C-alpha cells in the first residue's frame, strides 16, 4: 500500500491517468491525495470528476478543494458566470452534474493526518495559524458547503477585504479569511497579512512581499505540508517541511506526483 500526492489536475485527464500508470498507482490498494483544482482550464473536467468520484466510492482518494473547484460550484449555483476558459460546458450539461457537484461540495478544505504528520491544503496554511485553528475553520467551511443552503454561504465568501487574521473578527469575516488562505494565498507581508493580487514567481516580486511559506509560522517542524495552486514557483526554493505540487500542466508543462513511502517523484508532460 502506498500514498500518492498530486494537485492542480485542471481537467487534464489524459495526463493525469498516464501519471497514475507511470507511478504504478493501484486503486485496489493505494491511496491518492489531491490538493485541489481538479477542474477548469483543461478540456476534460467531466472525466476527471467522474474518475475521482469512482475512487471515492472505494475510499481510495482524499481531496481538498481549490479555488477553481469552488468556482465550479459557484457557476453551477448561478453565483458566478461561466467563462469560456473554464471549459465547463460539457460538465454543466452532463446527466450526472447534480451528483458530482453534491459530492464535490462535501469534500474537505484541509486534510490532516496526525499519525503520519501530514497536512494538505490547496494554497497552504496561514502563517498566523496553528494546526488547531486551521482544522477548526476548515471544518466550519465544510459544514457550510455541505449544507442545503451552501450557495448562500458561498455567495458571501467572495471578498478581497479580509486579509489579516484576528479572532475578534465577525465569524463571517473569519470564514472569508479562511477560504482566502486555504485556496488563494501566495504572498504575505512579514506580519502575515495576505496579498492576493500577485501571482508571479518570487524571482520578480520584491520585499516586503514574501511567499507565505517563508513567513515565520506555527506548524511543527516534523510535519510535511503539501500544497498546490502556484505553478509559477518552478525553480523557487521551497523550504522543508513544505512540498509544492503544482507544476503547471494546464499551462503546457507537466503534472507531478509524490509517493510518500519512498519520497519518489513522478511527472507526466502535457500532451495536447
Kindly report, residue by residue over 66-102, the tens digit of the pLDDT.
Answer: 999 999 999 999 999 999 999 999 999 999 999 999 9
Q: What is the pLDDT of residues 219-245, one digit of tens each?
A: 998 999 999 999 999 878 999 899 999
Q: What is the mean pLDDT of residues 181-200?
A: 95
Q: Give how far Cα 6 sits from Cα of 17, 70, 87, 90, Å.
A: 12, 18, 21, 24
Q: What is the mean pLDDT of residues 180-204?
A: 94
Residue found under cell 485553528: 133
Which pLDDT score is estimated for 234? 84
Q: What is the mean pLDDT of residues 2-8?
A: 98
Which pLDDT score is estimated for 270? 95
What percentage of the chain carries pLDDT values higher than 90?
94
Q: Positive or negative, the Cα torsion across 119, 121, 123, 129?
A: negative
**Domains and their CATH numbers in the chain:** 3-269 (3.60.21.10)
Which pLDDT score is estimated for 230? 96
Grid coordinates in use for 189? 507581508
Residue found under cell 472505494: 58
Which pLDDT score is estimated for 124? 97
pLDDT at 45 > cutoff 80: yes
pLDDT at 162 > cutoff 80: yes
Which pLDDT score is estimated for 117? 97
Least confident span in 38-47, 103-112, 124-133, 155-164:
155-164
**0.85 cut: is pTM over it?**
yes
Residue found under cell 489531491: 34
Residue 159: pLDDT band (50, 70, 90) is confident
Which pLDDT score is estimated for 272? 73
Q: Hey, is 109 helix, strand or coil?
A: coil
Task: Specify burial of residue 169 (Cβ count, 10 A radius: 0-12, 13-18, 19+).
Answer: middle
Tell me phi and psi for residue 253, to 5 degrees: -105, -100
| Helix (H), strand (E) at residue 104 | helix 97-104
Amino acid at each position: 500500500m502506498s500514498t500518492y500526492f498530486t494537485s492542480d489536475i485542471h481537467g487534464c485527464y489524459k495526463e493525469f491517468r498516464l501519471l497514475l500508470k507511470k507511478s504504478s498507482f493501484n486503486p485496489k490498494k493505494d491511496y491518492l491525495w489531491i490538493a485541489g483544482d481538479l477542474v477548469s482550464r483543461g478540456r476534460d473536467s467531466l472525466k476527471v470528476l467522474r474518475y475521482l468520484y469512482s475512487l471515492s466510492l472505494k475510499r481510495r482518494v482524499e481531496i481538498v478543494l481549490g479555488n477553481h473547484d469552488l468556482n465550479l460550484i459557484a457557476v453551477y449555483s448561478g453565483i458566478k458566470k461561466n467563462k469560456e476558459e473554464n471549459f465547463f460546458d460539457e460538465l454543466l450539461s452532463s446527466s450526472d452534474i447534480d451528483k458530482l457537484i453534491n459530492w464535490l461540495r462535501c469534500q474537505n478544505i484541509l486534510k490532516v493526518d496526525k499519525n503520519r504528520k501530514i497536512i494538505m491544503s490547496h494554497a497552504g496554511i496561514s502563517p498566523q495559524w496553528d494546526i488547531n485553528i486551521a482544522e477548526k475553520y476548515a471544518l466550519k467551511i465544510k459544514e457550510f458547503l455541505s449544507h442545503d443552503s451552501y450557495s448562500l454561504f458561498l455567495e458571501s465568501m467572495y471578498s478581497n477585504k479580509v486579509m489579516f487574521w484576528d479572532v475578534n473578527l465577525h465569524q463571517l469575516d473569519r470564514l472569508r479569511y479562511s477560504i482566502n488562505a486555504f485556496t488563494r494565498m501566495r504572498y504575505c507581508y512579514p506580519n502575515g497579512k495576505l496579498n492576493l493580487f500577485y501571482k508571479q514567481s518570487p524571482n520578480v516580486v520584491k520585499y516586503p512581499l514574501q511567499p507565505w511559506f517563508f513567513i515565520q509560522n506555527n506548524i511543527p517542524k516534523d510535519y510535511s505540508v503539501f500544497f498546490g495552486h502556484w505553478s509559477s514557483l518552478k525553480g523557487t526554493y521551497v523550504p522543508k517541511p513544505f512540498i509544492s505540487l503544482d507544476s503547471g500542466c494546464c499551462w503546457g508543462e507537466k503534472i507531478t506526483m509524490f509517493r510518500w513511502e519512498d519520497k519518489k517523484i513522478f511527472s507526466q508532460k502535457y500532451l495536447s
